[in-house]
Structures are given as structure tokens and as C-alpha cells.
Structure 1
Amino acid sequence: MENPIDIREEAGVRFLHFGTEWVQGAMRLRSPHTLELPYTREMMAGLLMREAPWPRRVLSIGLGAGSLAKFIHRQLPDAIHTVVEIEPRVLAIARQYFRFPADDDRLQVHLQDGLVFMAQTDARWDLILLDAYDHDVRQGPLNSIEFYRCLREHLTDDGLLSANLFNRGRRYEGTMARLEYAFDQRSLAFNSADHGNMIAFGAVGHPIELDAAELRERAIAVQTATGLDLRPTVNRLLGAKADSGEWLRL
């Protein structure tokens, strides 16, 4: 028996659920290409860490309602985006109910298990977005040192992994320990404005060292270029490590 996928609407917002109360995606009907959920906006905080035209190549593992992919397709016109989604019904629903576009020369969707896809590809990406859960809101084998190492190996020289972590018990110590080990301690995480989510980043390549003033300047530039307001995320980044003070170091 297939697990249920539910679509609900409230106050002008359409929500995607995988048969539970947990929201797997959302779209405001009047602005379908904006990032409605705070955690999706925070997952794009890599735009503050690397300078445009980064990222040129993006990989998403997990589609959901397609919010991140729609944003990238519209607001980052220089980016080529590969999306991996294991569930055909999710792709069909994203296209029917959430205005997810058809494949073109900048967007390609692969209906495949993320583990299998990564094991078979030699490609590398500037930004990898990991937001994949089953119907019980579990990551399963995608939450392992081996998989995080695999993702790291498929990043370009200035690549970033951006991961949405969700845990019903709100405990992330094990996940962060695995991520830190896989990325040689070049990782950070902060609690999302969406209660219950945590956003984690892993970095390779040139060190990231930005003070608060530069981060805020970059947030204004990103908002001007894309409409995405990352100003509230700056303080979360600065507070991600206890000893960071007014600096983001990654």
C-alpha cells in the first residue's frame, strides 16, 4: 500500500504533507516562486558565503513541493540545476499543484534514489541541497558519514553542502557529529526559524571568513538581485558557533 500524500490549503498557502502533520512543502498562491517556509530561505544562505555568479551548478536531493528548485530556476538564471527525487508521485504533484516547471536546458529531474544516483555519477556541484525524508520524516541511510563524505567528494573547489535537518525529538548531536567528521570540522548548524528544523552547512575549498558588516552587505545585495531576504539569517549564522562572535568562519 502506498503511503498517502496530502495537499491542504489555508490562508492562501498550499501545503504538502506525506500523510503526517509535518509540512513537506508550501507555496503561497499569489507568489508561487517565493520561498514560503523559513527553512527553505535559510538553506540558501550559501549565497552569503560565496560571491556571485556562484553557484553555477546545483544539485538537490529531495524535491518536496519544488520551492527551492523554482526559486533557483527563476532567480539564478546562470545556474544549471539537477534534482533527484525518489518518489514519482512527488514529482507529479509538484508539477500539478505547485507550479513546478518541466525539464529544460537548465533543469533536469532524475527519478532515482539519492544513494544510487550519487554512487553512479562523476559530476561535481557548487551547491548541494539535501532535503530528503521518507513518509515517517526520517533520512535513513542519507544520514551517514559515508553519504556525507560522498557528497563532499562531489563538491567543486568552493562547494557547499546545505542540509535541512528535521528531528521529532529535536536532537541533532549524532547527525552533526557525522557531518563534522565527514567535512573535517568545516561545518556549522543553526536552529531554523521553522521550529523543529535545523540548517547545517559543510564547506570545502577556500576558507570562509566574513564579519557581520560584510554579511549584512551581502544580504542586501542578494535581496536586490533575487528578492530573497536573508537579513534575518545573518544573526543565526553568526551565532552558529559559540566562539564565532561577530565573524562567520567556515
Structure 2
Amino acid sequence: MDILISEDKGVRNLHFGSEWVQGAMRIARPYALELEYTREMMAPLLFQADAHWPRNALVIGLGVGALSKFLHRNWPACTVTTVEIEPAVLGVAQLHFKLPPQSPTFRIEIGCGADVLARSTEQFDLILVDGFDHKAKVGPLNSSAFYAQCKNHLSPNGYCVVNVLSKQKDTLAGQTRFVQAFDGQALILPPCASGNVVALAHAGAGFDTTADLLAQRVDNIKLATGLNLKPTASKLKSLLRL
């Protein structure tokens, strides 16, 4: 797999042998979430009143490390475990995308995310799945068995979020597998401009909220982290009919 890096207008991009952007970092803000879909993957924050949530997170698919870096920077007490199948991606993230050094609260494991999760006995407050190869394929990460594993590894107040591509042939089938694995307790957000679709689910934590609570949490999150989730909140309001 060819790993390429490009830069344009202050943004450094990661490519896997094509023009398709696998990850991006604004050089002046290396810990911010540059791409729209990565911001949307933080949607569970809008359902959590606990400022210390999440306490632990599993990120499957490293890319430029955007999701992992954001969590590590803004919730330093959160244990962030990231699984990446391609060792070369880890090296590129360390050299070019300011990936923090490994520590007890910031761990990188090389391997298949599905295999790592199947071996794990840990429960996570947050599971983020964003794993693609150079052909935009996800392999076992889009299977019913994998989604069932995700559900089984969520804490009582945990959420699972996956990034899928709306242009894939089996997109609708994959979304159905995801929703069914969580017994219908899932939301599929409308596609981003890039074609990415973010889906989130829980195993009991719920999507209970109000329009006022969403607005308040949008303000709190932006104040605490700089992340603007107002567009995401608008999508959630429409889906939840608030």
C-alpha cells in the first residue's frame, strides 16, 4: 500500500495511493478535528451530561490519529486505545501528524480491530470505528459479528460510532447490520458533503435529550474543546423530532 502525504492551504492530508483523503490535519491546529465526519463522530458527547465522560475509549483505525488525539488532548484522564492494522500508518502518523507518544492513557496496538475486540475483556464508554484500506474496504469491520462484539464491549453508558461511505455498494446492507446488532437502538445521520455517513448506537445509554439540552451541550463542548457540534445537533434534532 502506497502512503502519500499532500498539503493544501495549511491542511496536511493522508492518502493511501489515491486522491481520496484518508485523514487530514490543519497544521496550525493539530489536535482539532479537521474533517466534517470526524466531528460528527463525536455526537455521543451531546447525550452526556458528565464532563468526565468518556473514561475510556477504543478507536479502530488510526489514519492521521485525529480522533485519538482529540480525545487525548481534551480528556487527558481518558484511556484511549487505538488499533491500526497497518504498521506503516503508525509511523506516518508519528512523523507527520504529531501523534503523541504512547503512555498508560494513550496506547496504540497493531492488529485487526475485529480480532483485538474479540480478545478483549474490557468495556468501553466509547467505541469509534473508522477503518478502511486503500480500496475503501473495511473487511470484517462491517459484519454483524463485529457489531455484536462492539455492543458486548460497551459500558452501561457507552456508545458505538462507525463511519461508513454512502457510495459503497453494500452501504444500506451495512447500516441494516449495524442497526440490527443494537436491536434498533441506533441513529444514522444524513451523509456529510464528503459522502461519509456516521452511525451511532448504544446498548442502554439512550438518546434521551431535548432541544434545549442539545443547545446547552453544544455551547459547553465548544467552550471546553473548541469543537463546534451545532451542525451535528441539528441533524440529531431532525432524527429525534425535537
Band of TM-score, shorter chain? over 0.9
Residue in 1 that maps onto 2:140: 141
Q: Deviations over 1:196-236 (max 9, x none)?
A: 10000011123321111110111101111111111111111
Aligned-CA RMSD value = 1.3
| Residues 209-248 of structure 1 aligned to structure 2 (within 5 Å) | 209-240=208-239, 244-246=240-242
8 Å CA contact 2:211, 2:237 repeated in 1: yes
Say how many residue pairs are matched.
241
Please say if 1:117 is aligned against 2:113: no
8 Å CA contact 2:187, 2:201 repeated in 1: yes
| Residues 119-198 of structure 1 aligned to structure 2 (within 5 Å) | 119-169=118-168, 172-198=171-197
8 Å CA contact 2:166, 2:191 repeated in 1: no
| Residues 4-43 of structure 1 aligned to structure 2 (within 5 Å) | 4-43=2-41
Which blocks of at least 5 consecutive residues in structure 2 are unaligned? Answer: none
Distance 1:99 1:106 in 2: 17
Q: Deviations over 1:84-138 (max 9, x none)?
A: 0010000000000000011012101001111211121111100000000111001
Give the 3-state SS of the residue equivalent to 1:136 in structure 2. Answer: coil
TM-score for the superposition, normalised by structure 2: 0.96
8 Å CA contact 1:186, 1:202 repeated in 2: yes
Q: Deviations over 1:165-188 (max 9, x none)?
A: 114347632111101110000001
**Following TM superposition, by how much is the alpha carbon of 1:63 offset from its aligned partner in structure 2, in angstroms?**
0.3
4+ long deviations beyond 4 Å: none
TM-score for the superposition, normalised by structure 1: 0.93
8 Å CA contact 1:38, 1:192 repeated in 2: no
**Following TM superposition, by how much is the alpha carbon of 1:239 offset from its aligned partner in structure 2, in angstroms?**
2.4
**Following TM superposition, by how much is the alpha carbon of 1:78 offset from its aligned partner in structure 2, in angstroms?**
2.3
Give the 3-state SS of the residue equivalent to 2:197 in structure 1. Answer: strand
Residue in 1 that maps onto 2:65: 66
8 Å CA contact 1:42, 1:192 repeated in 2: no
More displaced stretch, 4-13 vs 165-174: 165-174
| Residues 45-60 of structure 1 aligned to structure 2 (within 5 Å) | 45-51=43-49, 52-60=51-59
Distance 2:112 2:168 in 1: 26
Distance 2:138 2:26 in 1: 27
Query: Percent identity between the aligned chains?
Result: 41
8 Å CA contact 2:43, 2:229 repeated in 1: yes
8 Å CA contact 1:4, 1:19 repeated in 2: yes
Residue in 2 that maps onto 1:203: 202
Distance 1:165 1:180 in 2: 13
Distance 1:169 1:118 in 2: 24
